[in-house]
Amino acid sequence: MATQTLRKMVQGEAYQIVLLQLMGVVMLAVLSLVLNGTRSGFSVLMGGLAYGLPNLIFVWRVFRYVGASQITQFVTAFFIGEIVKLILSAVLFLMIVKYLPISLLSVLIGFAGAIVLFWVVCFWIFSKKKTSCKET
């Protein structure tokens, strides 16, 4: 029972991070759309999704394992998941560049933006948690 509660809590936080990352990508794409036009906005969105969607799959696959009894499965799933995420991101990026009418610079901005947003969101969420822990 406690493991189920822990799993839901950990999965919820991981999904929250990815959701906020994807929301940031959409905001970046809208900003690019307003400033540089349709092609640029679409390109930023596609570049961001090339990193964000594999990240979502990573969270779905890896964060099934929580608790001390599942540490081996978690570590194994984490490393395999990270490899799959990187390969999938690269394949998506290449498909976007090859087959879609995009601006390469904007795709790169969206891709890099998604990576940076992931770390910014993590820092924000975990620093917020640390502050609330100090207050109690």
Is 89 a residue whose pLDDT tops 90?
Answer: yes
Tokens of 72: 């081996």
| Contacting residues for 36 by C-beta, under 8 A, at least 6 apart | 106
Q: Are 30 and 41 in contact (CB under 8 A)?
A: yes
Please indicate, yes or no, if residue 42 is contained in any of the structural domains. Answer: yes
Q: How many domains does the chain have?
A: 1
Report if residue 45 sits inside a domain.
Answer: yes
Whether 135 is in a domain gets the answer no
In a domain, 133, yes or no: no
Question: Has residue 66 got a pLDDT over 90?
Answer: no
**136 in any annotated domain:** no
**pTM for this predicted structure:** 0.88
Q: Is pLDDT at 7 greater than 80 in this prediction? A: no
Does residue 61 form part of some domain?
yes
Tell me how many helices (H) and strands (E) the chain has.
Answer: 4, 0
pLDDT at site 74: 84
Is 89 within the bounds of a domain? yes
| 45 contacts 51 by C-beta, under 8 angstroms | no
Hey, how many other C-beta atoms are within 10 angstroms of the C-beta on 101? 7
Q: By residue range, what is the domain housing residue 87?
A: 2-128
Asked if residue 35 belongs to a domain, the reply is yes
